[in-house]
Chain A
């Protein structure tokens, strides 16, 4: 049944469906119970499924992920919430050292189907440590899968697929898009989790993005169209694995690529995309792959974030530079 709902509500509905259909699914995190999470993503779930399945945890992120690993060893499928992007680092050791490696170290005997939900990114005027985009820090780690939906429908279905995955998935939720509404068909058959999607077809240049930057890239493409430029927009959806085949197919057509993310450009996912697409599409490219993202500086105070984050004009500027070659 198709219904229009906010992205946060789509995740809520997806979690509800998972709790309903699999008794092994658990929700864990700080304030996820009565409060329903600080963004209300888990609103009402504890009321309906009880505090044994929707678990308010002590304020200890390493403990949340570490105990989720133990629960997964016991056969559970925990979906844990890290309250904000900048709070994940106490759990970084458990995620990188334990969660990511257990399947390989056990020679495939142990599977850890844990989903780590992280509301991420800026643009909401928050205080320090509440606006970061640490996806590259996780993408560097083999054993993890990293996804980020850009719209309500993907949020619903990608969460279903992340929970069903036998691999640990870091699920980056674009917090500034939590309230954006979109059509969600809960009876659709979703495409593969780690496949990119063309959200706007074009011929002159490819804009590749994921999560919160997809909407921006669509706005950029609309603005560029007024100037007679026909941009293609690719929603990558998954950061690890990255769907290089889809990027390649698009770049072979448009011959130009600009990658956009909120995370710092330096060693960001755009760097990896640029390197690999240069290797794959060397003879097709008319311009170097350009990147638009955050600067090599701590995420700034809220009154400066508009300058720090990629915006319409900065992306258009990169588009102009790529087209000038």
Chain B
């Protein structure tokens, strides 16, 4: 029996329909956390499970570091919730929430080294946090004051990329450059289940394999590409695609921060050791809408979300911290206060964010200038100045 035919049958099996709020939506099977294909180190109940292959990558983790991962996830979720609220208040034009994907992003983000380079999509707010990008910098493009508000080279965190999958090629090229330089840094490229269908992603797999580039492809399979379920993108589990390109692919519980940390560390170490690319499929769930403009009630069932709520990435770490006495009430209370302070800081920063100068239209179009841009800037300036004349009574 081929893999394809198995997947096709599974896909047919899960194609039953249910009616929600008068809309026909697809009820889908939720993955089992005991799936042998899925690397999991921490169960939804907060139980640490042994894994012969990946335990060593988190073996030395201290209680302090565990609390750190928990803190990262809580603060990222708080920041994300604040941004969603700011969109609802009209302060942002749009927001792409990462709700539910905190473990995938914090686990993988914390696996990177300072000299590694990150190529995100537009939803990697948690990875940005790990890289030290100020969260308020992420909001400029969603408020409409710029198209990317940070210097990629100050944190080795490239600008958000909106066109799906394009950045995987940039990541591959960057990794080819690292190899040419003889450096032992690595690159991590983020993308989603929807992007896996893009030609650029396929080409980045080909190039990275052919040149043995030190890159980790980190696919957050959050099950939905706006309204399209993963079944619309693939007949085989996404991680299995790597095999056809000649490099390993692993599926990890994307709601398990320890597993994501361990698997990404392993993959980055492979890259550093000259063993080439790896595909990591972080199996997770987009708990919210695609963006604030989306309405998931039109295409998916509440039951599915509820099933994933039981696997919350933050709750399981809290359970583990409490059961192992690694954190006390004081820690959680302090973190709650820190969360609120972050929300307030973000809120105030967004509201204070000035509109760009009108002439910003013409800035940085070229590095070395361009005669037409200069000419049009001058025309625009004269046009603007014509209003000053009117106001001056001429």
Contact = CB atoms under 8 A, between A and B. Distances in A.
B181 A74 contact: yes
B152 A71 contact: no
Given A142-B373, A145-B370, A62 B169 contact: yes
Q: Is the interface of B mostly helix, strand, loop or mixed?
A: helix
Nearest to B172: A67
B3 interface: no
A143 B373 CA distance: 10
Contact of B203 (A52, A63, A107, A109): A63
Interface in A180-228: 194
Given A66-B200, A142-B373, 7 more contacts: A63-B172, A63-B204, A69-B170, A73-B174, A98-B163, A106-B152, A145-B366
A-B residue pairs, 3 tightest by C-beta: A70-B173, A66-B169, A74-B177
B162 to A, nearest CB: 9
B151 A242 contact: no
Given A58-B203, A60-B206, A107-B146, A143 B366 contact: yes
Nearest to A75: B177
A99 to B, nearest CB: 10
A194 B367 CA distance: 15
B365 A104 contact: yes
A240 interface: yes
Nearest to B213: A67
Contacts of A137: none
Interface in B257-305: none
A70 B180 contact: no
A98 B373 contact: no
Contacts of B176: 67, 70-71, 74
A106 B367 contact: no
Contact of B177 (A63, A70, A93, A107): A70
B174 A74 contact: yes
Interface of B: 117, 146-149, 151-153, 158-159, 161, 163, 166, 168-178, 180-181, 199-200, 203-204, 206-207, 210, 363-368, 370-373
Nearest to B119: A70
8 contacts: A66-B169, A66-B200, A67-B169, A93-B200, A97-B163, A98-B163, A106-B151, A109-B151
A52 B211 CA distance: 10
Contacts of B372: 240-242
B166 A108 contact: no
A98 B170 contact: yes
Contacts of B207: 57-58, 60, 63, 67
A240 B180 CA distance: 33
Contact of B169 (A94, A166, A167, A242): A94
A150 B306 CA distance: 67
A240 B176 CA distance: 31
A76 B181 CA distance: 10
A97 B177 contact: no
A57 B204 CA distance: 12
A140 to B, nearest CB: 12
Most chain A CB atoms below 10 A, which of B147, B199, B367: B367
A160 interface: no
Contacts of A129: none
Nearest to A65: B169
Interface string A136-161: 00000011010000000000000000
A110 B152 contact: yes
A73 B200 CA distance: 18
A40 interface: no
Nearest to A108: B364
A142 to B, nearest CB: 5
B368 A165 contact: yes
Given A63-B169, A68-B173, A109 B367 contact: no
B367 A166 contact: yes
A70 B200 contact: no
Contacts of A143: 365-366
Contacts of B206: 58, 60, 63
A319 to B, nearest CB: 28
Nearest to A139: B372
Contacts of A108: 363-364, 367
Interface string A78-111: 0000000000001001100110011111111111
A105 B148 contact: yes
Contacts of B159: 102, 105-106, 110
A66 B158 CA distance: 14
Contacts of A105: 146-148, 159
Contacts of A73: 117, 152, 158, 170, 173-174, 177
Contact of B173 (A66, A90, A145): A66
A274 to B, nearest CB: 16
Nearest to A97: B163
Interface in A6-31: none
A67 B178 CA distance: 12
B166 A97 contact: yes
B379 to A, nearest CB: 11
Given A240-B370, A241-B372, A98 B166 contact: yes
A286 interface: no
Contacts of A305: none
Nearest to A109: B151
Contacts of A71: 173-174, 176-177
B147 A104 contact: yes
Contacts of A104: 147, 363-365
A142 B367 CA distance: 12
Contacts of B171: 70
Contacts of A63: 169, 172, 200, 203-204, 206-207
B322 to A, nearest CB: 44
A102 to B, nearest CB: 8
A107 B163 CA distance: 19
**Interface core residue of B151, B163, B364, B371 (most chain A CB under 10 Å):** B364
A141 to B, nearest CB: 11
A281 B85 CA distance: 55
Contacts of A69: 169-170, 173
A66 B366 contact: no
Contact of A70 (B147, B148, B174, B199): B174
B180 A52 contact: yes
B384 to A, nearest CB: 20
B370 A241 contact: yes
A111 B296 CA distance: 39
Contacts of B177: 70-71, 73-76
A76 to B, nearest CB: 6
